[in-house]
Structure formats: C-alpha cells, structure tokens
Amino acid sequence: MAQPEAHEIPTRRTPVHWRNEEITALVNHMYDNRASGDTSGNFKPQVYTSALTVINDDPDLQPLRIGPAKTVKMVKSKWASLKSIHHAIDKYRNQTGTHWDSANGAGIHGPAASAVWDSYVALSSNSHMRSFRNTGWPYFEKMQEIIPLGGARGRHAFHPGVMGPPPVPDADENEPGLAQAPALSSAGPSTTANHSSVTGPSFTTGPRSNTGGLSTATSSAGAKAPL
C-alpha cells in the first residue's frame, strides 16, 4: 500500500523580543561610536557586529534575554526602528505650537488639543507618535547627538496649529531624557502662523505697493500714466 505523502509543516517565525536594557545597551553603543557614523545614523557593518557582541555577551543582559540570541540582522532592524521613532519625534517637535519633553512626551490635555493630536497621529506617516501622547522617550537626547539631521522639515510637514491634515503627507517609516517647553493649553496649539488653504495660496497680478505687499488695485490694460 502506498504511503501518504508527507508534508512538511512550516515553522512559525519566532518573534523578536527586546528588553529595555538591551535597547539601552544598543543606543549607548551607537552613541559611543557616533564618530564613525554619518549624519543620518548609518554605520559600517563592523559597528553593528560589535553592538551584537555587547548585547549577547553582557553577563548582566543574558539572564534578561527572551527568546534566542540576537543576530546582526535583528540589530540592524532594531536600529532602523529606533531611527524612525527619533525622526517622528524630531519632526513633531519642530512644528508650530507643539510641546515635547522626554518625560511627558507631547503633553496632550484638553479636548481641543486632543482633537488636533488625534488628527495628526491618524496619518500613517505619523504613526510612530501614537505612543507618546503623554509618555516620553528616554533615548531622544542621545539619538539627537547620533543623528543631528534626523528631523523632518519642509513644505509638506504637518502643523498641529491647523485643524486637519496637510494636503500631501510626508512618506515616513514604536518604542516608548529635560528642557521644559510651553505646554499645550486647553484651547489647543497656537495658530499664529499663517498657513495656505487646501486649494493653495491665491495671488494677485497687480504691482507691489510701497509697503511690500501685493497691490489690490487694478488698472485698464494699455492705459498710459499722465505726463
């Protein structure tokens, strides 16, 4: 009698667990080697290899490990995730009217501020900020020194002072140190900055006035000025 064909049962990939102590060791190692990285936080292969050795061979970390020992691929993936979080925080704190500190995060209080916050983190490009509504990120200061150019700036950056998302969001890529910034009031972030509407800025075709603004006066085509 023919034997039934044996089918190999695929093995489920073991999830990677990172303890806070392991993340701290990784950030500290990259900080100590920041001179060998570029301004975007990218390092040569040997830095990731040495970070792996620090994490796996530290006798204080070994008892805390969950799952198998880390690999270089895991270290690179975790570092990429940390860079994305840093980028998201730096982008947020550079917006008009926002608050950030490493103990309380964005410090969102009150219904108006909550509504603006909810619309901000609803964008997939801002999803890394969801964990930091009122919780800080202890690695930000060191990450800021490792990646000095990690902030998001430009015309597509979202300004929480405006109720609603920007017309064209940034395309970006969550883990939860203290200068106090002005906290958001219950009335929401400041709206003193001027922002263009979704339909874009409007322009007039008249000549500039002496005050530097665009003149709203119109004249007939071809009309000659009096001599």
CA distance 9 to 211: 77
Question: Is pLDDT of 2 > 90?
Answer: no
* Number of domain units in the chain: 1
Q: Please report whether residue 80 resides in a domain.
A: yes
Per-residue pLDDT tens over the stretch 34-69: 999 998 999 999 999 999 999 999 999 999 999 999
Q: Please report whether residue 1 resides in a domain.
A: no
Please answer whether residues 102 and 177 qualify as being in contact, where contact means their C-beta atoms are separated by less than 8 angstroms.
Answer: yes
Angle at 139 between CA 180 and CA 175, to 5 degrees: 110
The 10 Å Cβ neighbour count of residue 195 is 13
Residues 6+ apart with CB under 8 A from 207: 215
Among 18, 150, 173, 179, CA closest to 86: 150
Q: According to the model, what pLDDT value does residue 87 have?
A: 95
For the ranges 5-9, 113-117, 207-211, which has the lowest average pLDDT?
207-211
**Residue matched to tokens 């006066």:** 217
For the chain, what percent of residues have pLDDT higher than 70?
Answer: 59
The boundaries of the domain holding residue 100 are 20-146
Residues 6+ apart with CB under 8 A from 166: 156, 157, 158, 159
Per-residue pLDDT tens over the stretch 85-117: 999 999 999 998 899 998 999 999 999 999 999
Q: Please report whether residue 213 resides in a domain.
A: no
Q: Please report whether residue 24 resides in a domain.
A: yes
Higher pLDDT, 223 or 203: 223
Q: According to the model, what pLDDT value does residue 7 have?
A: 54
Please answer whether residues 138 and 214 qualify as being in contact, where contact means their C-beta atoms are separated by less than 8 angstroms.
Answer: no
CA end-to-end span of the chain, whole Å?
115
Q: According to the model, what pLDDT value does residue 16 have?
A: 85
CA distance 156 to 2: 66
Q: Please report whether residue 216 resides in a domain.
A: no
Please answer whether residues 84 and 92 qualify as being in contact, where contact means their C-beta atoms are separated by less than 8 angstroms.
Answer: no
Q: Strands, E, within 46-191: which ranges?
A: none
Q: Please report whether residue 218 resides in a domain.
A: no
Higher pLDDT, 148 or 31: 31
The number of helix segments (H) and strand segments (E) in the chain equals 5, 0
CA distance 44 to 59: 26
Q: According to the model, what pLDDT value does residue 6 have?
A: 52
pTM: 0.61
Beta bridge partners of 101: 105
Q: Please report whether residue 117 resides in a domain.
A: yes
CA distance 146 to 11: 38
Question: Is pLDDT of 200 > 90?
Answer: no
**Residue matched to tokens 């409007």:** 202
Q: Please report whether residue 12 resides in a domain.
A: no
CA distance 26 to 33: 11
Mean pLDDT of the chain, nearest integer: 73
